[in-house]
Structure 1
């Protein structure tokens, strides 16, 4: 009995068991790197794998990359190009894939899983499966009840039943939350039925479950100006609310008071990400196809024309070039997309340099942002006349309109426009994991779980009640228990 209970070192474990642990999917890339640096067991290949893999950790990272839907959707040449862009480092490639996948959901930080989203005059945060809000409670968007008009710090939102919040989306005047079990709660202005409750057109001041989706598990929500998109775990898209421009994707312009499935998208495959603009919508499928529908104003649909699309239509310029889109962000007047190899594309209205091409010329179809081609982008974020790109080393590039300091540059100078991507020096001391920008303010989450904001704070959307605006990133805090 004593022999069987004697202590065993990591070096004594069978290689196949070690590999099983490495490939469990429960270890972050930084954990894999730490193991490789601290133990010779993880540094060796033990003669079991091709020489192109430098270690057990390297081989495990390669195997985990193969499980990613983003990587699996790429053809062989694109996979090779992505590995080359990662300097042949499988661990870096895995980190890239994980960062892209988390960019539209919660991100892993040393303080736990978090997500940040900015609305018009408010900010929403998920921390440790709880939802918080600050800023102006226009139409009940903060979710704290009719008596609350403003929160000057992140204040926890109480739900009618105990829930673990997994994803959130903020719009101008309504909000949507997804729980770990796939249920959806909404609050805010429901005059257009964008909250998915057909029994009232009045504001909803506290989160309320969307009954129409009670038995349909959802994994992501995207709140537009007066409509909402819901992405189910099966990859189907439901929409509700205003439909004057066809933004619900249902083939007509009739409003929908409750979520309705977009059958056309259901017939072409599984959707992996959704994004909602003011009156248009975007959906990325698992094969990297980007679909757009709704208002064609400002060329935001990417088809080279400004006509409305009542049903999802694939953006052909990506398809013709064999480009797989991984994630997309819908701004007020322009769009920014990230492909599966870390390149960035913009199109729409170029006012104030929001497209990043060094001018203010509109782009009618997606245009490659060549000034960032040496960077490996992991998240893109667009709002009113400004754009941010987060790259894999945690740096942030911004371009567009500098109004209210929401672009993050301290040296405004004679112009309020940044026409080409420029790194935010004010954030260089932090490794940024996620960024979100609203009308006049911007918020970020670091890999340490700290939250910073900059820009307009007139309505406490940066979580402070003593300043009207912050030109430099200012840390935001949650209410004390």
Structure 2
């Protein structure tokens, strides 16, 4: 009887079952590499796959790539270009796809935690294990801590009306928006322009409130503009509300919308997979890699070669004409950045202080390839006021543009071409976000570092006015719990 329950190692399992485990589990590219190095079982041939694959793990990596949403939307030609860029290594292709997904969504840390960081003008919001924490200036209730809070000196948990698992957050100058695992949307802050999606504009919303107009419309991403908000549904539809002075709501007019309304014209071109909001304009990426823009055309941010406002989504022809498959975009105050499916970076807009990274301060009216980073495989792009960051697949960060009170992480007043942030070399960065004068990163280990101005405690470092070097930031509740443990020991 005892033999029936004897312990067995994974080597005892049939090869086809092991393969199913590899492709059905939540394994990362790093996990697959570790498995391949740890046992001949994973590195050997078992007659389960074509000879062009190097190992069982290699074939599993290919299968995981094929089922990934980003890869599935690419044409065969684009898939081949990415494969070649990754030295024909399926594990590296998978790492690229997963890194792009995590850097713009939730970071899967080595400790098993899920995190996302976002920076507003004078504040920071962090998701950690489905809870949201905020710090900095609570102008108009943007921190979500109630009317009695004017400033929060450390990352402190936001209380929702009921237990809420938050999966995405976006913040701008005066308001913030949150997406729950259920697809529900909550907002807080100044609603005088209807940007929070509620009809009541009599006073700020000091604590997160559910957007009732989106009840029954589950969302997966939100992007907060200056006085408006953009919502992306799980079906790939785009809703907008708030101020519409420049046509940034995308409905073909300049009429403000008090509650979220779907943009009908963009539904005709396919499912949208990512959105980004600048001060008064919007960028939207579709599943087939096209980029649409609408709103204020100032500073050439729409990428159409002119500064006319666009009242409805218009495709950026540069990418479409050249067959460039864009996977992510970032909308800065005066310029924009895009990342394509081969890890190349494109910039356009106002070139002041070298924010476009081309070695000069010349404005670019349409997207232009950042040639100095062609040797790097970029996984995230991040633009804000006159500065840009590019995160590459080895965890290094490049910055260029205006120093802005140390928020660039470099000691130069202007950085005209991408320069690696030496101060972060010891850390594998997984996500970066930058505000007006401060920047925050999350590492693969789940550590948080910030640099730049801290005049309003936007770095969550209550005793510092600012820091030129990355300084670790801790979550208030976790610190309190650690103190209780030490006192009881």
Same fold (TM over 0.5): yes
Q: Choose 174-183 or 79-88, whichever is displaced more.
A: 79-88
Matched, 1:333 2:340: no
Instruction: Write the distance in 2 (CA, Å) between the matches of 1:438 and 1:18.
Output: 46
Q: How does 1:464-475 map to 2 (within 5 A)?
A: 464-475=461-472
In the aligned structure 1, how far is the partner of 2:51 from the partner of 2:67? 21
CA distance in 1 between counterparts of 2:185 and 2:78 reads 37
Q: Give the match for residue 474 of structure 2.
A: 477
SS in 2 for 1:222: strand
Give the match's secondary structure for 1:291. strand
Give the SS at the match of 1:268. coil
For the residues of structure 2 that align with 1:126 and 1:8, how far apart are their CA atoms?
40
Report the equivalent of 1:91. Answer: 91
Distance change >3 Å, CA 114–CA 201, structure 1 → 2: same
Match status 1:362 vs 2:359: no
With 200-209 and 327-336 compared, the bigger mean Cα shift is at 200-209
Superimposed CA distance per residue, residues 180-230 of structure 1 (whole angstroms, 9 cap, x where no aligned partner): 111111001101010000123421000000001121111100000000000
Q: Is the 8 A contact 2:193 2:201 kept in 1?
A: no
Unaligned 5+ segments in structure 1 are: none
Contact kept? 1:292, 1:315, Cα under 8 Å: yes
- SS across alignment from 1:83: helix
Residue 486 of structure 2 corresponds to: none
The Cα shift of 1:47 comes to: 2.4
User: Who is 2:127 aligned against?
Assistant: 126
* Runs of 4+, deviation exceeding 6 Å: none
> Could you tell me how far 1:6 is from its partner in structure 2?
1.8
Q: For each residue in 1:127-161, what CA deviation from the matched residue of structure 2 results, as whole angstroms up to 9, or x when unmatched?
A: 01100000000000000000001111100000011
> Is the contact made by 1:192 and 1:201 (CA closer than 8 Å) also made in structure 2?
no
For residue 268 of structure 2, give the secondary structure of its aligned residue in structure 1: helix
Are the aligned partners of 2:225 and 2:278 in contact in 1 as well (CA < 8 Å)?
Answer: yes
Which residue of the partner structure matches residue 460 of structure 1?
457
Change (3 A) 1:356 1:276: same
Q: Give me the whole-angstrom Cα distance separating, in 2, the residues matched to 1:383 and 1:103.
A: 16
Q: CA RMSD in A?
A: 1.0
* Distance (Å, rounded) in 2 between the aligned partners of 1:384 and 1:20: 47
Deviation of residue 248 (structure 1)? Answer: 0.4
Whether 2:437 is the aligned partner of 1:436: answer no
Looking at structure 1, the residues matched to 28 and 152 of structure 2 have their Cα atoms a distance apart, in angstroms, of 35
What is the TM-score of this pair, normalised by structure 1? 0.98
Using the alignment, how far apart are the partners of 1:213 and 1:381 within structure 2? 28
Is 1:376–2:377 an aligned residue pair? Answer: yes
| Matches for 1:83-162 after TM superposition, within 5 Å | 83-111=83-111, 112-162=113-163
CA distance in 1, matches of 2:148, 2:341: 46
For residue 80 of structure 1, report the CA deviation from its aligned partner: 1.9
Whether the 8 Å contact between 2:28 and 2:98 is mirrored in structure 1 is no
- 1:37 is aligned to 37
Q: In 2, Cα distance between the equivalents of 1:64 and 1:162?
A: 33
Equivalent pair of 2:191/2:200 in contact (CA under 8 Å): no
**TM-score, normalization: structure 2?**
0.96
How many Å separate the matches in 1 of 2:256 and 2:341?
35
What's the secondary structure of 2:2's corresponding residue? coil
Corresponding pairs, count: 477
Whole-Å Cα distance in 2 between the matches of residues 222 and 188 of structure 1?
Answer: 14
Contact kept, 8 Å, 1:10 with 1:41, in 2: the verdict is no
For the residues of structure 2 that align with 1:321 and 1:25, how far apart are their CA atoms? 37
Deviation at 1:25, TM superposition (A): 4.2
Contact 2:65 2:94 (C-alpha < 8 Å) held by counterparts: yes
Task: Name the CA distance, whole Å, in 1 between partners of 2:367 and 2:156.
Answer: 39
Structure 2 gaps, min length 5: 482-489
Query: Which residue in 2 is equivalent to 1:300?
Result: 301
Deviations 1:280-310 (A, max 9, x none): 0011000001000000000000000000000
**Preserved contact between residue 348 and residue 365 of structure 1 (Cα < 8 Å):** yes
Are positions 1:200 and 2:201 aligned together?
A: yes
Q: How does 1:168-247 map to 2 (within 5 A)?
A: 168-247=169-248
* Other structure's SS at 1:200 match: coil
Q: Secondary structure at the match of 1:70?
A: helix
**Equivalent residues in 2 for 1:269-308, closer than 5 Å:** 269-308=270-309
Aligned to 1:167: 168
**Counterpart Cα distance in 1 of 2:419 and 2:200:** 48
Q: Distance in 2 between matches of 1:45 and 1:303?
A: 51
Deviation at 1:4, TM superposition (A): 2.5
Q: Which residue of 2 aligns with 1:74?
A: 74
What's the secondary structure of 1:459's corresponding residue? coil
Aligned-pair CA distance for 1:383 = 0.1
